[in-house]
Amino acid sequence: AALPAPNTAGLATVLRSVVAQGAPGALARIDDHGRTHRVTRGVADRVTGRAISTGDRFRIGSVTKTFTTVVLLQLVDEHRLALDAPVNRYLPGLLPDDRITVRHLLSHRSGLYDYSDDMFAASVSGFEAVREKVFTYRQLVALSLKKPRTNAPGAAYSYSNTNFVVAGLLVEKLTGKPVRTAYRDRIIQPLKLTDTFYVHPDTAIPGRHTRGYLTPDRAGAPLVDATAQTVSWAQSAGALISSARDLDVFYGALLGGRLLSAARLADMERFTKVSSTTAYGLGLRRRDLSCGVSVYGHTGAVQGYYTYSFGTKDGERTLTAMANTSNNTEVLNTLAGALESAFCGK
Ligand SMILES: CC1(C)S[C@@H]2[C@H](NC(=O)CCCC[C@H](NC(=O)C[NH3+])C(=O)[O-])C(=O)N2[C@H]1C(=O)[O-]
Q: 3-class DSSP state for residue 26?
A: strand
In this predicted model, what pLDDT tens digit does every residue of 201-244 receive, in sequence order? 999 999 999 999 999 999 999 999 999 999 999 999 999 999 99
pLDDT value at residue 2: 87
Q: Decide: 278 in ligand 1 pocket, CB within 6 A.
A: no
- Of all protein residues, the one whose alpha carbon is nearest to atom 16 of ligand 1 is 123
Catalytic position from the list 17, 62, 232, 242 = 62
- Measured in angstroms, how far is the CA atom of residue 254 from the centroid of ligand 1? 24
Q: Decide: 243 in ligand 1 pocket, CB within 6 A.
A: no
Q: Does 301 have pLDDT greater than 80? A: yes
- Measured in angstroms, how far is the CA atom of residue 302 from the centroid of ligand 1? 6
Q: Decide: 161 in ligand 1 pocket, CB within 6 A.
A: yes
Write the ipTM. 0.99
Q: Decide: 297 in ligand 1 pocket, CB within 6 A.
A: no
In sequence order, what DSSP letters do the residues of 157-174 get, joined into one string?
A: ----HHHHHHHHHHHHHH
pLDDT value at residue 119: 98
Q: 3-class DSSP state for residue 66?
A: helix
Banded model confidence at residue 127, pLDDT cuts 50, 70, 90: very high
Position in ligand 1 atom list of the atom nearest CA 121: 19
pLDDT value at residue 114: 98
Catalytic site includes residue 62: yes
Banded model confidence at residue 276, pLDDT cuts 50, 70, 90: very high
Cis peptide bond upstream of 148, omega within 30:
no
In this predicted model, what pLDDT tens digit does every residue of 138-188 receive, in sequence order? 999 999 999 999 999 999 999 999 999 999 999 999 999 999 999 999 999
pLDDT value at residue 91: 98
Banded model confidence at residue 135, pLDDT cuts 50, 70, 90: very high
Contact 323/26 with Cβ under 8 angstroms?
A: yes
Query: Mean pLDDT, to the nearest integer, of 126-134?
Result: 98
Among 177, 233, 205, 232, residue whose Cα is nearest residue 324: 205
In this predicted model, what pLDDT tens digit does every residue of 246-274 receive, in sequence order? 999 999 999 999 999 999 999 999 999 99
pLDDT value at residue 149: 98
Q: What is the dihedral of CA 51, 52, 57, 62, to 10 degrees?
A: 150
Task: Write the single-letter amino acid at 52.
Answer: I
| Percent of the chain residues topping a pLDDT of 70 | 100
On average, the pLDDT of the chain sits at 98
Q: Decide: 157 in ligand 1 pocket, CB within 6 A.
A: no
Rounded to an integer, what distance in angstroms lies between the CA atom of residue 78 and that of residue 290? Answer: 39
In this predicted model, what pLDDT tens digit does every residue of 62-103 receive, in sequence order? 999 999 999 999 999 999 999 999 999 999 999 999 999 999
Beta bridge partner(s), residue 41: 26
In sequence order, what DSSP letters do the residues of 189-237 get, joined into one string?
A: TTTT-TT-B--TT--PPPSSB---EEPPSSTTPPPEE--S---TTTGGG
Query: Mean pLDDT, to the nearest integer, of 124-128?
Result: 98
Q: 3-class DSSP state for residue 81?
A: coil
